[in-house]
Amino acid sequence: LLRTALYDEHVRLGGKMVPFAGYEMPVRYSGDIEEHNAARQRVGMFDVSHMGRYEVQGKDAARFLRYICTWDMARLAPGAGHYAAACRGDGGILDDVYVFTIDPERYLIVVNASNAPKMKAWMEDRIAGFDARLVDRHASTAMIAVQGPEALSVLDGVLGSDFVPGLKPRRCGETEWHGRTLFASRTGYTG
């Protein structure tokens, strides 16, 4: 089984690790009811680093994404995101994806964990006819979903800025944090 960058921290905090989508992931720490109530009443943080993350870069990045997705990503302004489906040539759905426009020649596409290897290969097979390239960010980054009514204030305290609270729903952006580039979005995508 694969492990996310946060695996050691999950174990240190007593997470019960189970197989999920090819990864060892924590299913719970203290208990289902307590954790559910924490996320619904305060804040919950979830390691979703097992989800696939790929950048599409280049002059034809939006055109490539239009070719594989049900939404025309060229319609999005930088800093906007949209939920869509990635479809086969016969119209069948391969995966539901979320695409973020970082700038007109740089997009981030997030795919489901169980489909990540398949989606990567499928996109690589189709990008050749476009002036664009696919950059795998899956293993080089971590992804955390922060949910609950106190999510924005907790993130504001951690980041020390109003960057995330300043994002409107379905918007995204990048900022520097501890010498690294941090990408954040407000999608509600993980539930």
Supply the pLDDT for residue 134: 98
pLDDT of residue 191: 38
User: Does 190 have pLDDT greater than 60?
Assistant: no
Question: Among 25-29, 83-87, 151-155, 184-188, where is mean pLDDT lowest?
Answer: 184-188
Query: What percent of the chain has pLDDT above 70?
Result: 98
The two tokens of residue 9 are 């921290």
Q: For 4-44, how does the pLDDT look when each residue is reduced to its tens digit (9 = 90+)?
A: 999 999 999 999 999 998 999 999 999 999 999 999 999 99
pTM confidence score: 0.91
Mean pLDDT of all residues in the chain?
A: 93
Res 187 pLDDT > 90: no
Residue 189 has pLDDT above 60, yes or no: no
* Closest C-alpha among 12, 2, 126 to residue 61: 126
* Distance of alpha carbon 187 from alpha carbon 80, whole angstroms: 10
Q: Which residues are within 8 A (CB) of 2 and not within 5 positions of it... i.e. 6 or more apart?
A: 22, 23, 24, 50
pLDDT tens digit sequence for 128-180: 999 999 999 988 999 999 999 999 999 988 888 888 888 898 899 999 999 99
* pLDDT recorded at residue 44: 92
